[in-house]
Amino acid sequence: MSVVRLPRNESAESIVDLIGGTPLIRLGKLEPRPGVEIYAKAEFCNPGGSVKDRAALQMIKDGVAAGALTHDKIIIDSTSGNTGVAYSMVGAALGYRVALVMPANVSAARKQITTAYGTEIIYSSELEGSDGAIRLVRELVDKDPDKYFYPDQYSNLSNPRAHYLGTGREIWEQTGGRVTHFVAGIGTTGTIMGTGRRLKEYDRRIQIVSIEPDDSLHGLEGLKHLPSSLVPAIWQPEGIVDVRMPMPTDEAWDTAEALGHAGLFVGHSAGAAVAGAVRVAKSIPAGERAVVVTLLPDRGDRYFVPLKWEKQYEW
């Protein structure tokens, strides 16, 4: 594997200053033939451990700039995990209280990491998944709008804006403008919308490929099966997304396992993205060159059940 890095601050005033500027890792062993390159953007290198650091910071910064977020309000949103960790980290670093609505069956790691930052968790029904969490957070905000700042990651244009300003620009610079395809999974859809829009502005020929579960009953945490879900308002694929690729859970899990054996321990959504990138790479006609870039949203340990985070824990 080879790595393409961007310059990063050697020192920072705040942990949030280290968000972004993540490296590209070349996945040479997965490349089908010479002339077709595959790279993965290592978003687990963000200080909160995932790509969601970018969107959380942008939504909070823009909320402060607009006067919608003040220190007497609580940041609240629905999340199945990584965005919640990002809100919690950024909120703690900048001095804002955070409350999160999560499905009751979200991984223990996500629950314990967020509470370690001092975040309050409000549980929604595990039977209703992420859509149930969305409905509950909207009810809470409607009942007491002055109490909360509700970024609403599924509707907030600051979500894709984070990737328009950061991720898309970084990929273009790191590939020296050679990128031909960008492949990413869709959850809130902010990553692919913002990154795709920026890359299309650089070169309309760049192909943007979205990866989504092939079934409503899937095992790809963080990804949305849009036909059976509440569709995020920021999902506006016309003119940006060229291909929508359904991904089976087994293929994504197998790819994540293969990446781990190659030294990259990532989550199953990353496995789905890389599996999609490999499919795209294999589809490139003979004799044509391509630079396929995908994105690794987080690390695999985010899906483990960790040790209890309690001061008075009896072993």
Q: Which residues are catalytic?
A: 52, 269
Cβ of 260: how many Cβ atoms within 10 Å?
A: 13
Sheet holding 148-149, edge to edge: 120-124, 97-103, 74-78, 148-149
Give the pair of three-digit tokens for residue 281: 């790479």
Kindly report the backbone phi and psi dihedral angles of residue 70, in degrees, each rounded to the nearest multiple of 5, phi listed first: -125, 170
Calpha distance 136→209 (Å, rounded): 32
Cβ of 125: how many Cβ atoms within 10 Å?
A: 14
Those residues with Cβ within 8 angstroms of residue 80's Cβ, 6 or more apart along the chain or in another chain? 102, 103, 106, 110, 129, 130, 133, 221, 222
Those residues with Cβ within 8 angstroms of residue 287's Cβ, 6 or more apart along the chain or in another chain? none
Cα distances from 14 to residues 21, 66, 270, in angstroms, run 15, 22, 28
Give the pair of three-digit tokens for residue 121: 């968790």
Q: Any idea of the CA torsion for 112, 118, 120, 123, to the nearest 10 degrees?
A: -10
CA-based nearest residue to 66, from 137, 161, 190: 161
Q: Is 131 exposed, middle or buried (0-12, 13-18, 19+ CB in 10 A)?
A: middle
